[in-house]
């Protein structure tokens, strides 16, 4: 048994008290690594495995004091073991409790948590939306022991909850996120009711873990875990844990809890609240009484494996939540799915409650219904390739289950309904696999066939937007590069960016181009590397590649402020964190929120409800653009598209006039002829497009007439002005013999044609 908290943790395992790490100033990622055990000089760096049942003493008197609870120490692993205690101390620190213990399973933790304070003839109020195994433990097994449970709808009114209490009620129980219904407990409602009746609130925090929720902060008094799930994380070891907040005053309700507040004759009349205080009484009693008599102790090796899992818990939970949200969004739009439950998904009945109690994320489990009921659910699971059909849940590998026919099959239809488990419910435990799956060999072959037809028809090249498809594998990249090289065409690539402070993606594409022997165009170059201190090193890499004879080119717009759709991987939560981006540096560029700076709420709204709207992210410095566009292999580029008036990125209307204004007239970094070359002939040559880029007989009639001294971009950022304001100094634009701009007036035409050889 251990004692610990946010202000540091101490071992209370009936041996000498020992201060370990002061964890109050550390974030949970650090706590997961360091809490619970501090090696001394020359001691093992990792928690040692004390795989021994017994411990030696030199005199009977010394051991006798242990049995009388007058001294601290270990004598038999069924009660306590150093390995177990260290791991329990870590979990205690993560939850912010005062004392904790490990059990051999999550079921044992649920049983001990109740049985420690509830006896025959007494009563518990319990949320009906709980794990099926826990329900059976309470409703069947413990009922046979004389303990009665009243199950209430987790969304019941306060009056309905109040009506469930009896004079003999001794506890209230619920799950933070129910398995598998995924209801989110209203902590404050259940805590108010429990405390009004002088009993503690016990919460199973398995699915959320302390990474995503701290029930003690919302009124819970005792927390339980099935450590078999996310805490272990790898399906290695069954286990459980109980953590006491140390906040419930047992002595104020002494008549309800005589086991804690009156002498225990089995231990020579010790009164636990007097001897161990409010912070240690509950766990001490559970250890020296229940564990002594029932013996549900985990093996030290299992505790060791649990600790290995705990060390990576924050990293895994972030990935679980990210992947689960992506899966939930996919399922929500699938025609064969009748409903989806995931509290992190906007529109879910528990979305707002989850945002309140679990602001960092929920869990990796998604529940959904398949049209066609039980039979359709069975066919779905039989057809899965990656996911395993397994009773387990919440580990690194994706698994799937039909609870009504497995974990909850002991429940009647009425009980299933009360627990929120529909007959068609499929529990999908999303692992930490790459949610952006790589193309299969068949898919890659299909892409090659499509590209081949297009190139034979005269396409200028094959473009890859890897930033929008970060899961793309090297096989499909090489296949696209090879088919472009086969036809002698260009391969424009928007490289993927794991983070914008490394050059991995640049090296990746250079290597692919070298293998293919074709021409590589690094698209939107400045947007990808500006503002992170990597633009100049990236340019140096390209210079070195060209010096070795590689056919590498680059394009860039005139803005460091880049834009893309809100729902893309570019703006997912992890990418924002990895690149240290701030919501305040982003602005909605399209839709009803155009011109509005983002905050957390607006970001989530755009991501979840308006994923096809654009966001502009302000980053970088103008000098980075100027440096890049002076390179002889750099050409001008922009984005274009159909936007509503007053929407979009200012680059649509402003890129080329801004280029001429800044680079030629104001900064004098380029001569006029060189600047025009970068806008015309250089891109035509790079893309192998004949008939473009020069004024000669027989070439296409593409003309732009501009006044060098008057040309000016007027487009502004959406939060600062008109993003589509037309420029000055460009009175005429002709494309394929058709005026697109006539005497300064835009003709609202998209003149041009498909380019073919």
Label residues 37-46 b or e (16+ Cβ within 10 Å = b). Answer: beeeeeeeee
Beta bridge partners of 433: none
Q: What is the pLDDT of residue 24?
A: 56
Q: Are 458 and 756 in contact (CB under 8 A)?
A: yes
Decide if pLDDT at 577 tops 50: yes
Q: What is the pLDDT of residue 61?
A: 81
Higher pLDDT, 374 or 440: 440
Q: Where are the beta strands (DSSP E) in 120-253?
A: 123-127, 148-152, 169-175, 201-204, 222-226, 240-244
**Residue of 83, 35, 33 whose CA lies nearest to 308:** 33
Q: What is the pLDDT of residue 18?
A: 43
Decide if pLDDT at 649 tops 70: yes
**pLDDT tens, 258-301?**
999 999 988 888 999 999 999 999 999 999 999 999 999 999 99
CB atoms within 10 A of CB 67: 12
Calpha distance 457→443 (Å, rounded) = 21
Decide if pLDDT at 339 tops 90: yes
Q: How many CA atoms lie within 13 A of 527 on its CB side?
A: 26
Decide if pLDDT at 499 tops 70: no
Q: What is the pLDDT of residue 496?
A: 82
Mean pLDDT of 590-613: 90
**pLDDT tens, 507-525?**
999 999 999 999 999 999 9
**pLDDT tens, 84-129?**
999 999 999 999 999 999 999 999 999 999 999 999 999 999 999 9
Calpha distance 31→409 (Å, rounded) = 39
Q: What is the pLDDT of residue 561?
A: 87
Q: What is the pLDDT of residue 408?
A: 67
Q: What is the pLDDT of residue 11?
A: 35
pLDDT band, residue 54 (cuts 50/70/90) = confident
Q: Taking all residues of the chain, what is their mean pLDDT, rounded to a whole number?
A: 89
Mean pLDDT of 312-340: 91
Decide if pLDDT at 754 tops 60: no
Q: Is the dihedral of CA 409, 411, 417, 421 positive or negative?
A: negative
Q: Return all residues near 308 (Cβ < 8 A) that are at least 6 apart.
A: none
Residue 751 in 3-state DSSP? coil
Q: What is the pLDDT of residue 628?
A: 95
**Residue of 569, 381, 378, 349 whose CA lies nearest to 469:** 569
Q: What is the pLDDT of residue 13?
A: 44
Higher pLDDT, 418 or 474: 474
Q: What is the pLDDT of residue 738?
A: 85
**pLDDT tens, 172-185?**
999 999 998 899 99
Calpha distance 299→238 (Å, rounded) = 10
The most confident of 149-163, 263-277, 360-374, by mean pLDDT: 149-163
Mean pLDDT of 580-608: 91
Q: What is the pLDDT of residue 501?
A: 63
Q: What is the pLDDT of residue 29?
A: 87
The most confident of 366-375, 641-650, 671-680, 744-753, by mean pLDDT: 671-680
**pLDDT tens, 660-711?**
999 999 999 999 999 999 999 999 999 998 888 888 888 887 899 999 999 9
Q: What is the pLDDT of residue 302?
A: 96
Q: Are 126 and 174 in contact (CB under 8 A)?
A: yes
pLDDT band, residue 25 (cuts 50/70/90) = low
Higher pLDDT, 466 or 705: 705
The most confident of 33-42, 109-118, 462-471, 636-645, by mean pLDDT: 109-118
* pLDDT > 90: percent of the chain: 62
**pLDDT tens, 2-19?**
444 333 333 344 444 444
pLDDT band, residue 1 (cuts 50/70/90) = very low
The most confident of 8-22, 25-39, 200-214, 463-477, by mean pLDDT: 200-214
Higher pLDDT, 159 or 373: 159
Q: What is the pLDDT of residue 299?
A: 95
Q: What is the pLDDT of residue 16?
A: 40
The whole model's pTM is what? 0.71
Decide if pLDDT at 537 tops 90: yes
Calpha distance 83→99 (Å, rounded) = 16
Cα-to-chain-centroid distance, residue 511: 31
Least confident of 227-241, 483-497, 690-704: 690-704
Calpha distance 533→579 (Å, rounded) = 12
Higher pLDDT, 16 or 641: 641
Higher pLDDT, 747 or 613: 613
The most confident of 52-61, 509-518, 729-738, by mean pLDDT: 509-518
Calpha distance 28→313 (Å, rounded) = 9
Q: What is the pLDDT of residue 751?
A: 57
Calpha distance 7→672 (Å, rounded) = 67
């Amino acid at each position: 048994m251990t004692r610990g908290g946010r202000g540091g943790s101490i071992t209370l395992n009936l041996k000498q008290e020992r201060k370990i790490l002061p964890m109050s100033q550390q974030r949970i990622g650090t706590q997961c690594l360091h809490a619970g055990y501090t090696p001394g000089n020359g001691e093992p760096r990792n928690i040692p495995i004390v795989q021994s049942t017994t411990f030696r003493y030199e005199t009977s008197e010394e051991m006798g004091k242990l049995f009388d609870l007058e001294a601290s120490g270990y004598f038999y692993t069924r009660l306590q073991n150093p390995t177990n205690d260290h791991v329990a101390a870590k979990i205690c620190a993560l939850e912010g409790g005062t004392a904790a213990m490990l059990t051999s399973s999550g079921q044992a933790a649920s049983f001990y948590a109740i049985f420690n304070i509830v006896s025959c003839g007494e009563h518990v109020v319990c949320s009906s939306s709980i794990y099926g195994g826990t329900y059976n433990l309470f409703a069947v097994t413990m009922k046979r022991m004389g303990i009665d449970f009243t199950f209430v709808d987790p969304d019941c009114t306060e009056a309905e909850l109040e009506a469930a209490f009896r004079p003999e009620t001794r506890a209230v129980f619920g799950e933070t996120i129910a398995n598998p219904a995924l209801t989110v407990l209203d902590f404050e409602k259940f805590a108010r009711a429990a405390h009004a009746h002088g009993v503690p609130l016990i919460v199973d925090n398995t699915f959320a873990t302390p990474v995503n929720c701290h029930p003690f902060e919302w009124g819970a008094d005792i927390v339980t875990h099935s450590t078999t799930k996310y805490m272990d994380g790898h399906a290695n070891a069954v286990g459980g844990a109980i953590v006491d907040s140390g906040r419930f005053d047992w002595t104020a309700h002494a008549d309800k809890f005589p086991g804690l507040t009156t002498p225990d004759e089995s231990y020579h009349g010790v009164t636990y609240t007097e001897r161990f205080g409010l912070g240690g009484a509950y766990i001490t009693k559970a250890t020296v009484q229940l564990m002594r008599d029932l013996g549900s102790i985990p093996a030290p090796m299992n505790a060791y494996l649990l600790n290995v899992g705990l060390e990576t818990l924050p990293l895994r939970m972030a990935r679980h939540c990210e992947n689960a949200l992506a899966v939930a969004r996919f399922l929500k739009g699938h025609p064969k799915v009748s409903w989806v439950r995931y509290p992190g998904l906007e529109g879910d009945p528990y979305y707002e409650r989850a945002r309140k109690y679990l602001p960092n994320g929920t869990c990796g489990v998604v529940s959904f219904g398949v049209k066609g009921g039980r039979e359709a659910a069975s066919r779905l699971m039989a057809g899965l390739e990656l996911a395993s059909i397994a009773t387990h849940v919440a580990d690194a590998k994706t698994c799937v289950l039909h609870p009504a026919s497995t974990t909850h099959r002991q429940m009647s239809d009425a009980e299933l309904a009360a627990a929120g488990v529909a007959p068609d419910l499929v529990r999908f435990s999303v692992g930490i696999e790459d949610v952006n799956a790589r193309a299969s060999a068949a898919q890659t072959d299909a892409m090659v066939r499509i590209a081949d037809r297009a190139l034979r028809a005269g396409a200028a090249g094959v473009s890859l937007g890897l930033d929008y498809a970060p899961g793309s594998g090297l096989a499909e990249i090489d296949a696209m590069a090879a088919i472009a090289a086969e036809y002698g065409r260009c391969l424009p690539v928007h490289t993927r960016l794991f983070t914008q402070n490394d050059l991995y993606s640049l090296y990746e594409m250079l290597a692919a181009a070298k293998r293919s022997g074709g021409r590589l165009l690094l698209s939107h170059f400045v947007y990808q590397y500006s503002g992170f201190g990597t633009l100049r090193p990236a340019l140096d890499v390209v210079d070195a590649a060209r010096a070795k004879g590689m056919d590498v080119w680059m394009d860039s717009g005139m803005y460091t402020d880049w834009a893309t759709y809100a729902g893309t991987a570019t703006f997912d939560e992890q990418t924002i964190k990895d690149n240290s981006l701030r919501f305040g540096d982003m602005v909605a560029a399209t839709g009803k929120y155009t011109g509005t700076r983002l905050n957390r709420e607006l970001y989530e709204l755009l991501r979840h409800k308006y994923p096809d709207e654009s966001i502009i992210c302000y980053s970088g410095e103008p000098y980075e653009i100027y440096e890049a566009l002076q390179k002889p292999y750099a050409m001008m580029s922009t984005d274009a598209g159909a936007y509503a008036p007053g929407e979009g990125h200012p680059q649509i209307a402003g890129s080329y006039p801004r280029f001429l204004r800044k680079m030629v007239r104001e900064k004098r970094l380029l001569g006029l002829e060189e600047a025009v070359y970068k806008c015309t002939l250089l891109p035509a040559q790079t893309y192998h497009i004949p008939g473009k880029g020069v004024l000669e007989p027989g070439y296409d009639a593409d003309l732009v007439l501009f006044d060098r001294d008057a040309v000016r971009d007027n487009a502004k950022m959406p939060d600062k002005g008109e993003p589509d304001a037309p420029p000055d100094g460009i009175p005429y634009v002709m494309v394929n013999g058709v005026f697109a701009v006539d005497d300064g007036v835009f003709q609202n035409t998209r003149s041009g044609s498909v380019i073919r050889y």
